[in-house]
Structure 1
Amino acid sequence: MLKAERRNFIMTKLVKEQRVNTIELAEVLGLSEDTIRRDLNKLHVKGLLEKVYGGAIPVSNKEENVFDIVISNEKKKREIGLKALSLLHDGQVIIMSGGTTNLVFSKLIPPLLKATIYTYSLPIAMQLSQYQNIDLIFIGGKMQKNAMVTIGMDVLQVLSKIKADICFMGASSINIKQGLTEVGYEVSIVKKAMLEASDKVVSMFTADKLNSKTPHVVCGIDRLNTIITDLNPDDELLKEYHSAGVIVL
């Protein structure tokens, strides 16, 4: 395992478990404890973690939320974000929609991930601006102030020129018949453009969005590659989505 991959592994484990142990890391990675200590010291110097006796913990003074945004069901959204981490890898071109589920997810992304991320969400862009290895492109346009996302022709023009590996898309509502739907017409148009620009589409939402609908259709279920909820993938509420051929995490 290369040094960068090893340190990325350490940061991902830290995000998931909120603490890492030097001895355990050495055993898992098949390396000496001295090597792990050097890695932890280096990550500490970079301000990515806080070195403590026997291991490391997350940086204690790191902001939890950008702009002090109140996030409902944050624990559930964190569970969703942790599941989504398995879909990330170095070198990806990623599009992220707005919404608090994606905002929580953006806070969980390993700081050493090397990727290009496009977003039209101002809070998510501000969160990702802290990551040195991410090439961040904020898509400008008319600001929808209540959601702090950009909309309009400027956004659509940028999206039409992107070819992304994966899109992480929040949802206002979803059901088997209508598919993914949105409250606002302009946001639904932007999300359609995101779909066209992406090879794979991942929709992330809490279980209360299941089997509901809002006025503006984004896409049918067949256009989604993966859905991620806070439920166990084998939950009865997700049975129809499995049957529709969607990967459920």
Structure 2
Amino acid sequence: MLTSQRKNLILDALQRDGQVLAKPLSEAFGVSEDTVRRDLRELAAEGKLQRVHGGALPSSPAVANFAGRQAIGSEAKAAIGRAAARMIAPGQIAFIDGGTTAIQLARHLPADLRATIVTHSPSVAVELAAHEALEIVIIGGRLFRHSMVTVGAAAIEALGHIRADLYFMGVTGVHPEAGLSTGDLEEAYVKRALVARAAETIVLASSEKLNAASAYMIAGIDAASTIIVEKGAPGSTTAPFEALGVTIERA
């Protein structure tokens, strides 16, 4: 069997089963595990999967830059943002993450909402500037341009002094076993700090991020009380999370 054929079969299995393991693949292909691991390494380098111990998971598609991602799945993101905005009650303190879906959340907040929004996203802060009833707290740090958020020790230190009712998390991967993940180490640390300082974490995830994984784990899936997905997200993709007790909100 040619290398290209093996790789196509690996990707087919990944799409069908949600994960692949090196040992069963080597037996099915009649090659060594080292050969399969090499295939997995090469596919990972091409951004087509995320390697994990013993095999691989689907890779998150959220690799474009911030401007490029704004045009991807814009209707779904708008619907998710609209549903998330309805969850913030007057008087609450809410963390809003960075990312293109978080921008949609900010755009759909009611103009008369009286609440406190804490964000490490300059883009979200600017989006909310016209909301005179909102108290807006901006967390500083080093700007991570891919997501247009601040990261680093300064951001984490500032978050340690705030307790929020809700945290609206953006992710690049949501997987029942691999948990919540993102593609940058420092961003993962900041998101972890946000989870620790909020009473409830709500994940904003368009369907292409479900059952996918990125390199840096934020937390286990049990950190999320709710995952908001677009209305058309297939039941087969959300069922594993519901089985674990996570509420699925369809926008």
**TM-score, normalization: structure 1?**
0.70
Aligned residue identity for 2:119: T
Distance between the aligned counterparts of 1:70 and 1:197, measured in 2? Answer: 28
Aligned residue identity for 2:102: N
Shift of 1:147: 2.6
Give 1:182's aligned residue: 182
Distance between the aligned counterparts of 1:209 and 1:231, measured in 2? Answer: 14
The answer to whether the Cα contact below 8 Å between 2:88 and 2:94 also exists between their aligned partners in 1 is no
Give 1:101's aligned residue: 101
Shift of 1:234: 7.5
Distance between the aligned counterparts of 1:223 and 1:199, measured in 2? Answer: 10
Residue 145 in 1 paired to residue 145 in 2? yes
CA RMSD of aligned residues (A): 1.8
Aligned residue identity for 1:116: T
Q: Give the secondary-structure state (helix, strand or coil) at the position aligned to 1:103.
A: helix
**Unpaired stretches in structure 2, ≥5 consecutive residues:** 1-66
Matches within 5 A, 1:1-249: 70-232=70-232, 235-249=235-249
Q: Give the secondary-structure state (helix, strand or coil) at the position aligned to 2:192.
A: helix
Q: 1:178 to 1:89 in 2, by over 3 A?
A: same
Distance between the aligned counterparts of 2:75 and 2:109, measured in 1? Answer: 16
Q: Give the secondary-structure state (helix, strand or coil) at the position aligned to 2:118.
A: strand
Query: 228-237 vs 195-204, which deviates more?
Result: 228-237
Give 1:52's aligned residue: none
The answer to whether the Cα contact below 8 Å between 1:71 and 1:100 also exists between their aligned partners in 2 is no
CA offsets 1:6-60 (integer angstroms, 9 cap, x no match): xxxxxxxxxxxxxxxxxxxxxxxxxxxxxxxxxxxxxxxxxxxxxxxxxxxxxxx
Shift of 1:231: 3.5
Q: Give the secondary-structure state (helix, strand or coil) at the position aligned to 2:211.
A: coil
The answer to whether the Cα contact below 8 Å between 1:233 and 1:248 also exists between their aligned partners in 2 is no
Shift of 1:236: 2.3
Shift of 1:105: 1.2
Q: Identity across aligned pairs (percent)?
A: 27
Distance between the aligned counterparts of 1:90 and 1:229, measured in 2? Answer: 24
Give 1:26's aligned residue: none
Shift of 1:233: 7.3
**Unpaired stretches in structure 1, ≥5 consecutive residues:** 1-66
Q: 1:174 to 1:120 in 2, by over 3 A?
A: same
Distance between the aligned counterparts of 2:197 and 2:124, measured in 1? Answer: 19
Aligned residue identity for 2:168: F
Count of residue pairs brought into register by the alignment: 183
CA offsets 1:57-88 (integer angstroms, 9 cap, x no match): xxxxxxxxxx9984321111111122223311
Greater RCO (Cα-Cα under 8 Å, separation 6 or more): 2
Aligned residue identity for 2:140: G
Distance between the aligned counterparts of 2:216 and 2:80, measured in 1? Answer: 24
Aligned residue identity for 2:111: P
Q: Which runs of 4+ in 1 moved over 3 A?
A: 67-71, 231-234
The answer to whether the Cα contact below 8 Å between 2:98 and 2:170 also exists between their aligned partners in 1 is yes
Shift of 1:145: 2.6
Aligned residue identity for 1:150: T
Q: Give the secondary-structure state (helix, strand or coil) at the position aligned to 1:87.
A: coil
**TM-score, normalization: structure 2?**
0.70
Distance between the aligned counterparts of 2:77 and 2:84, measured in 1? Answer: 11
